[in-house]
Amino acid sequence: MTDAELVALALAARNHSYSPYSHFPVGAALECADGTVYTGCNVENAAYGSSICAERTALVKAVSEGKRTFTRLAVAGSSDDYCWPCGACRQMLLEFAPHLTVLCTRQNGDFVSLSLDGDLLPHGFGPHSLE
């Protein structure tokens, strides 16, 4: 699957977003090492702390199906700026895929490719930190 195809899946996943409070639909597409892709969207809640981001939705779906190794993630928001994973998502992703490639996408489909551990969360606290 190409980067552009993964981005297209993230853009499509935004259609399932439940975002009545922020009005900012986000979609994500997480590629596993075996090529399987799990999508997710943000799901908000009136108790804001109970909300979940698209990236973590995709990750939790994949992990709950037994997947543990991931290669790429595309995340697509609904603005002209790139959609960057929040700190909580970066931390959750670091647990499973420190070398993950993250495709941060604009609503028009343009994207940039960054590494999780080198660009988005350098010096992150992960399982290796507990050794």
Does the active-site annotation cover 95? Answer: no
- In DSSP terms, which residues pair with 101 in a beta bridge? 72, 115
44 membership: H or E segment, kind and range: none
The single residue listed with the structure tokens 């489909």 is 109
Do residues 56 and 89 touch, judged by C-beta distance below 8 A?
yes
Give the Cα separation of 119 and 123 in Å (integer): 10
Give the Cα separation of 121 and 128 in Å (integer): 14
Do residues 14 and 27 touch, judged by C-beta distance below 8 A?
yes
Catalytic pick among 5, 31, 44, 55: 55
First to last CA, the chain: 35
Which residues belong to the active site?
Answer: 55
